[in-house]
Amino acid sequence: NLFREYLKRNLIEGWNRIERRGLIRFLSIIEGKFTGERMIFVVSSRYDERLNLEEFLELLKSESINVSSLILGINPEIRDDARAKELFVITGQETIKEEIGSFRYNLHPNVFFQPNPYILSFMLKEVINLLELKGWEKVLELYSGAGTFTVALAGSASNVVAVESDPNAVKICELNLRENKIKNVKVINERAERVSLKYDVIVLDPPRSGLSYKLVRKLRKIKPKKLLYISCNPEAQARDISQLGYRIKRLIVIDQFPHTPLIETIALLER
């Protein structure tokens, strides 16, 4: 309601997806549930002199709403995307902190992070429990993103190679590794299909579309001893597992989004 009041007061129009015109495209609130930090991220189609977010910040303060970071992002692309090409920090920093158990993370508006931190704590523990790492294994993590699972894997393996194609996510992953004083992880900015798969253990956490056919074919050829497949799309996961030729040793189903049909699954695969 405060943001609507601000928009009306400054005659700022929202983005019209049909006519492809207007200014404000997205308003995201990112919170560190265990740190109390809060970021407000406003995405506009272009910069406009009416976008005086300092005025919006004062409006928030007048209602005793604490904000750690307020960021304006510019996304001129036609397709809908809550990320931004350019970032302008109005107050605070480009990231805020979150704590999951003993791990500290930096949350960035352009980089995905698991949205339910209460469930994420459980997921991190289950990933380690399922893998039963002895400490000597070399682990390859594909689609490592911001390093959500990377920081947990590092403490149980000899070394970890984290592969991520998004350069923004790579930077945040490296920042999270430094934040947790982790030194046995190498981060590679590359597509999953283009790296060597000769590792003891491979952890997969692909986007909703699942694994590419090229990656499935490489995995079938290399035949790693152990795969851990984390998925937010059970249909894509089931398709990939059937093509990989592995059997499911254990499967955990997680209700990360209560009152929705969406679930998260973690499958331990072995030959």
What amino acid positions are annotated as catalytic residues? 232
For tokens 């506009």, name the residue.
44
Neighbour-count burial for 111-120, b at 16+ CB within 10 Å, e otherwise: bbbbebbebb
- Please check whether residue 82 is in contact with residue 61, taking contact to mean a CB–CB distance below 8 angstroms: no
Let me know if 48 is exposed, middle or buried by CB neighbors in 10 A (0-12, 13-18, 19+): middle
- C-alpha of 162 from chain center: 14
Residue 70, beta-bridge partner list: 40, 91
Residue 87, beta-bridge partner list: 73
**Phi and psi dihedrals of 148, rounded to 5?**
-55, -50
